[in-house]
Chains A and B, each alone.
Chain A
Amino acid sequence: NAGVTQTPKFQVLKTGQSMTLQCAQDMNHNSMYWYRQDPGMGLRLIYYSASEGTTDKGEVPNGYNVSRLNKREFSLRLESAAPSQTSVYFCASRTRAGRLETQYFGPGTRLLVL
């Protein structure tokens, strides 16, 4: 049981290049999320998927696209990377049990856009 996994761990891109960040969870969770973390800004939601087949914008969706490939996998794509997208990206999945609710996070992808 690996929880939430993310690939790659680290990536350097040049401005204008594209890439896809991969995320997978093995906990049979319905909801999955992509966040970015920047200094002094906390975690900001980029996109989320409440269930397989649905995706919705979060707080900072511009410059990103997502695909919920199946229940396990949720990918984040940068079509034309910009220096402002230099950040640490976290994927998370969510469970709900009664009134308890929490999200489980992956280890993160550090992205540097030059």
Chain B
Amino acid sequence: DQQVKQNSPSLSVQEGRISILNCDYTNSMFDYFLWYKKYPAEGPTFLISISSIKDKNEDGRFTVFLNKSAKHLSLHIVPSQPGDSAVYFCAANNFDKLVFGAGTILRVKS
């Protein structure tokens, strides 16, 4: 049973527009959430995170929103750039381990 779900396998956005990537989770014990970005033939790299005590965290063009009651988080990228084209993984902290979603492929068209 997948505890972290990214229901959109792919997303296509025009350069300059907003990209919104979504993630749902089932375990209410998760206390920390992270987004990773992955380019082909490379390892994932950390992008942004949020603690369960917050509902928003912002870092430049990237903002993560957390809705605990809905067990939902989202990553907003504004404005989107062609270099943002990658696979984005949502992850939740579970004690010593991270639980990852299946990933969403983002394509930003110029």
Interface residues of A (CB under 8 A from B): 4, 31, 33, 35, 40-45, 48, 50, 56, 58, 90, 92, 99-108
Q: How many residues belonging to B are interface residues under a CB distance threshold of 8 Å?
A: 25
**CB interface residues, B 86-103, toward A, < 8 Å:** 89, 91, 93, 96-103
Interface residues of B (CB under 8 A from A): 4, 6, 9, 32, 34, 36, 41-46, 49, 51, 89, 91, 93, 96-103
* A42 in contact with B93 given A107-B42, A108-B43 (CB within 8 Å): no
* Interface secondary structure of B, over-half rule: strand
Kindly provide the distance from the CB of A93 to the nearest chain B CB, expressed in whole angstroms: 11
Partner among B6, B34, B51, B98 whose Cβ is within 8 Å of the Cβ of A99: B51
Could you tell me if B46 and A43 are in contact, using CB atoms closer than 8 angstroms?
no
Kindly provide the distance from the CB of A75 to the nearest chain B CB, expressed in whole angstroms: 17
CB neighbours (8 Å) of A99 from chain B are 32, 51
A104 to B96, CA, bound (A): 14
Could you tell me if B44 and A102 are in contact, using CB atoms closer than 8 angstroms?
no
Interface-central residue, B43, B46, B89, B98, by most chain A CB under 10 Å = B43
